[in-house]
Amino acid sequence: MDFQQTIKKEVELKGVGLHSGEVVKLKFKPSLPDSGINFVRTDLPGKPVIKADVSNLLEQSRELRRTSIGRANAEVHTIEHLLASLFGLGIDNLLIEIDGSEVPGMDGSALPFFELLENAGIVKQDVRRKFFQVREPLFIQSPDDATLVILPHPNFKVSYTLDYSPFYALRGNPPSSPQHLIINFFSDGEENKKIFREEIAPARTFCLKNEVERLRKDGLGKGANYENTLVVDGDKIVNNKLRFEDEFVRHKILDLIGDIYLLGASLKGYIIAVKSGHWTNIRLLKKIEKQEEKIREAGVPSFSSGYPFKTVLDSRDIQEILPHRYPFLLVDKILELEEDKRIVGIKNVTIDDYFFQGHFPGHPVMPGVLIIEALAQTAGILMLSKKENRGKIAYFMGIDKGKFRQRVVPGDQLRLEVKVMRLRKNTGQVYTRALVEEKIVTEANLMFALG
């Protein structure tokens, strides 16, 4: 599956949070390419947006049995089952409106989310998917010997061993221990969807019967019951039946997949897990992110040696030219490029853009200086796309005759046009204008220096 995907139509569901006990409503909406997965807390002032990303992870102890994200005073908890379903469906971009602090537990698995979003329809977008290829082994081990190792691999593969015997020796009999399962995911999106739906999505969360009271004292499990949580009493399941003989290890893989999806890119690597949980999953995720940053920083200044000149560029091509990254990369696509002459880019303005959180949040308007910045980045792509400029940086040196003619709001598509006025070896001057629906909203002459 080479291209990013979102859902075709808006859908919603309502349920109870496993830990909070709150009744929460979710509304899922299609989102633009490269926007990622974003939660909107519609119950809070300003409707803050929280991107499902490693940078927004909330720290947790080893005992806290969920994955949470937050920004400022806005948080969303227990997101792992939902994120796992997005992985299974290959959904890259989605806007999720939520009117509470916790994603509903539903039946304790990813299946209700998977089925709802699958029925909404999945549509391909015209931007390539992001992948992160693991280049070197990474290792995590917790104080209670939970272990995670990730190795280079051409696809995504998970091997999980569930053996809580020593850990549960003082708490009661472990749940059907040990269990082991290997799951291979491939590049074929439909095959992955089938594997996830049949092998992983239905597996439900679980706990020991003698843990229930302690969890309640810790303020957790307020919405849990025998229908949405498998309660293990010795070698029996209380008031329920297993969907798989090894349902526990399948659910641990589900949690792992959901946590890894916070990377914001599809992972290519082989994960070997032994009794891992959210605490170790998240620490591995942060190590992966650091490895990605190291690789990205090493590759940002220039094209790879075999990179051909292109006249149409997607987001990946743009990031190979410019050093800018989210949230400050303001060009989504290049539609036209004539070397030394002109360039046309696109910026899709969405409510997910970070600046709307503080710039007239009640009446969102894109700041004029950021429209200028988007034009400057487009001009930078034109200048740095030349072979002799590879590896250089375009510095914004000045602005002349800048005019702002019209507001730009969420839902607008900015057409960013740049025409060369004067271009020398290390300096350049360009005329720029930004349009919405063929009407000029901003125009300016910009000056650059290359270094």
CA–CA separation, 190 and 242 (whole Å):
27
As a CATH number, domain 3-296 is 3.30.230.20
Give dist(CA 271, CA 257) in Å, integer: 10
End-to-end CA distance of the chain: 38
> Catalytic: 19?
no
* Spatial separation of the C-alpha atoms in residues 6 and 120, rounded to whole Å: 10
Using DSSP bridges, classify how beta strands 156-162 and 179-185 pair: parallel, antiparallel or unpaired.
antiparallel
Domain 315-450 has CATH 1.10.240.10: no
Give yes or no for residue 103 having a pLDDT over 80: yes
Contact by Cβ (8 Å): 286, 138:
no
pLDDT of residue 299: 42
> Does the structure show a pLDDT above 60 at 1?
no
Q: Where are the domains of the chain?
A: 3-296, 315-450
Q: Which of 308, 42, 284 is nearest to 151 (CA)?
A: 284
Spell out the residues 6+ positions from residue 183 whose beta carbon is closer than 8 angstroms to its own. Answer: 157, 158, 195, 199, 200, 253
Q: What is the pLDDT of residue 51?
A: 93
Q: State the catalytic residue, choosing from 81, 278, 324, 363.
A: 278
- Please report the pLDDT score of residue 335 as a whole number: 87
pLDDT at position 421 over 70? yes
278 annotated active-site: yes
Give me the helices (H) in 186-276, please.
189-195, 212-217, 247-260
pLDDT of residue 218: 65
Measured over all CA atoms, what is the biggest interatomic distance in the chain, rounded to whole angstroms? 79
Report pLDDT for 359. 76
Q: How many CB atoms sit inside 10 A of residue 213's CB?
A: 10
Give the three-class secondary structure for 102: strand
Torsion of CA 346, 349, 352, 357, to 10 degrees: 130
What is the number of helices (H) and of strands (E) in the chain? 8, 24
Residues 407-417 have pLDDT tens digits of 999 889 999 99
pLDDT of residue 142: 82
Q: For residues 276 and 261, what is the distance between their CA atoms, to the nearest angstrom?
A: 16
- Give me the mean pLDDT over the 407-434 stretch: 89
Q: What is the per-residue pLDDT across 24-44, written as a single tens digit (0 to 9) for each? A: 999 999 999 889 999 999 999
Closest CA to 281 of 172, 387, 150: 150
Look up tokens 């995504």; give the residue: 156
The predicted pLDDT at position 302 comes to: 28
By the 8 A CB rule, do 135 and 9 touch? no
Contacts of 164 (CB under 8 A, 6+ apart): 174, 175, 177, 275
When comparing pLDDT for 384 and 50, which is higher? Answer: 50
Taking residues 327-334, report their average pLDDT.
Answer: 89
Residue 307: its pLDDT value, please? 35
pLDDT tens sequence across 162-189:
886 544 544 455 555 688 999 998 766 7
